[in-house]
Amino acid sequence: MSSSTGVPLGVRQAQKLKTRQALLDAALRLLEEQSLSSLGLREVTRVVGVAPAAFYRHFRDMAELGVALVEESLGSLHVMIRAVLAEQEDAEEVIDRSVAAVAEHVRRHPAHVRFIARERHGGVRAVREAIAAELQRFGDEVAAALAAQEVSRGWSAEDVRMLAGLYVDHLVMTASAFLEAPPERAQAIADTAGRQLRLISLGRRHWRAA
């Protein structure tokens, strides 16, 4: 099947997705040096090489583009941490693998991590809310994994969710630390993060709700 222009619909859809991704990639590069609230769509389209009007075929405004970047930025980290927590292994190994997963995510996606760190408390409300919602969903996923572990037997759902929040906040903090540190400091950050998670784990084993 072809469109009215004679271009097959599959090809047009692929081109549209390619342009959309190019806009996201260009915005992410530009956001290395500025906040989303100060970034204009004309700057983004200029980098991609499309007319400003073409932007609106993919996003309503810059806020919607920012929300798409939030989903892109946190999606792969969700998958990595969920896979670590799903494996019923020794707690020490889970801690080490969680920290390693965060370090690897920062190594592969530094611009995404920097974007989340900057915009979590930035000036675009829709993006702040999207980050909060994604971290909430992340916390729910972690809580489900923690609830399935033997050590959580007898815990209330509220306490498990509270623990999950501690883990998520710690992982976000650790990601920011890896991002800002020079390479020679990476191992020291990993060691500190591991010790902090072990402290949380120790407290977990002795927790009794008041």
Q: For 134-187, what is each residue's pLDDT tens digit?
A: 999 889 988 988 888 888 888 999 999 999 999 989 989 999 999 999 999 999
Tokens standing for residue 123: 């000036």
pLDDT computed for residue 83 by the predictor:
77
Give 32's pLDDT tier (boundaries 50, 70, 90).
Answer: very high
Contact 36, 66 (CB under 8 A): yes
Give 69's pLDDT tier (boundaries 50, 70, 90).
Answer: very high
pLDDT digits (tens, 9 = 90+) for 73-117: 988 787 777 777 776 566 677 888 889 989 999 999 999 999 999
pLDDT of 8 above 80: no
Give percent above pLDDT 90 in the chain: 62
Contact 48, 26 (CB under 8 A): yes
The label of the residue with tokens 């009794």 reads 208
| Phi, psi dihedrals of residue 35, rounded to the nearest 5° | -90, 160
- DSSP conformational letter for 122: S
Residue 72: exposed, middle, or buried by beta-carbon count in 10 A (0-12, 13-18, 19+)?
Answer: middle
Residue 3: exposed, middle, or buried by beta-carbon count in 10 A (0-12, 13-18, 19+)?
Answer: exposed
- Secondary structure class of 45 (helix, strand, coil): helix
pLDDT computed for residue 2 by the predictor:
52
Of 21, 26, 23, residue with least CA distance to 111:
26
Judged by phi (left if over 0) then psi (alpha if -120 to 50, else beta), residue 73 lies in alpha
pLDDT computed for residue 110 by the predictor:
94
